[in-house]
Amino acid sequence: MKIAVIGLGNMGQPIARNVLQAGYELTVYNRTKQKTEDLVTEGAQAADTPRLAAKSADIVITMLADDDSVSTVTFGEDGLLEGLAENGIHISMSTISVEFSEKLAAAHAEKGQSFLAAPVLGRPDAAAKAALRIITAGPAEAKQAAKPLLDSLSQQVFDVGEESKTANAAKISINFLLVSMLEALSESFLMMEKYGLEQKQFLEIASALFGSPVYQNYGTIMAEQKFEPAGFKMSLGLKDTNLALAAAKRVSANLPLAELAKSHFENGIEKGFGDLDWAALIKCIK
């Protein structure tokens, strides 16, 4: 089976490398061609356009920042939609909106292709270890064909049905839980700081209760102020918070905590924190 990976950023690069290591033929495309060089040295082929990347593949993975960037590589004369063969599969691992997921599914169906939403849980270090968790939804036949590939990139795959938007809504909701944790942990850290308790010691107490690697990971980043290099940028945190608010609005749900976090992210970005890890939310509140 031939695979193409489009988007070689912090997540796409290790995902592409794991595709190679799993023994698949790999074609890569990235807007900045320099990012393809190491993978080409390791055995991948580089394509000049998304269309050419898709033309060489049975399955195309996109790992890009947002709706606009996925749209750019999918649609248009040089987009992957025109290059992918009938019965080909597009797997989007990006965190995209519910509405755009529906648009992609419809566009591929018109071409006789399949679209799978497969957003991932995990940071770049998990991607490098093939230890991501993947939430997938889409046509059953396409999921079955893609299962060996997804298994090679992850430690766990959650199948949430045949409507792609369900996987995207689930990922957005998970990210909202992370935002809520960052908000609560930041506020707790800052309050305890005023009582003279070091953040690392408070984190030790909190970790004893919650036993969560997520609290431990982000709490350590906050306590040690290690916001660079960012595993996940604050600007992307704001993007995902806005996605959560938009998804909630579609079903008349209220997310008041998301509104609060949004205001803090916006404040931080105005102060120049946009490229810091989103755990720098504590700096925004402080």
Active site residues: 171
Residue type at 187 in one-letter notation = E
CB 134 within 8 Å of CB 118:
yes
Edge to edge, the sheet with strand 154-159 lists 120-121, 132-136, 154-159
Is the separation of the CB atoms in 234 and 269 below 8 Å? yes
Q: Quick one: which of 23, 78, 20 has its CA closest to 54? A: 78
Is the CA virtual torsion 215, 133, 100, 5 positive or negative? positive
Distance between CA 32 and CA 185 in Å, rounded?
A: 37
- Which parts of 75-163 fold into alpha helices (H)? 80-83, 98-110, 124-128, 140-152
For residue 53, how many C-alpha atoms fall within 13 Å in the half-sphere facing its CB?
Answer: 31
Tokens representing residue 175 in the block: 């990210």
DSSP alpha helix (H) spans, the chain: 12-21, 37-41, 50-55, 67-74, 80-83, 98-110, 124-128, 140-152, 164-194, 199-210, 213-224, 234-250, 256-270, 281-285
Q: By three-state DSSP, how is residue 143 classified?
A: helix
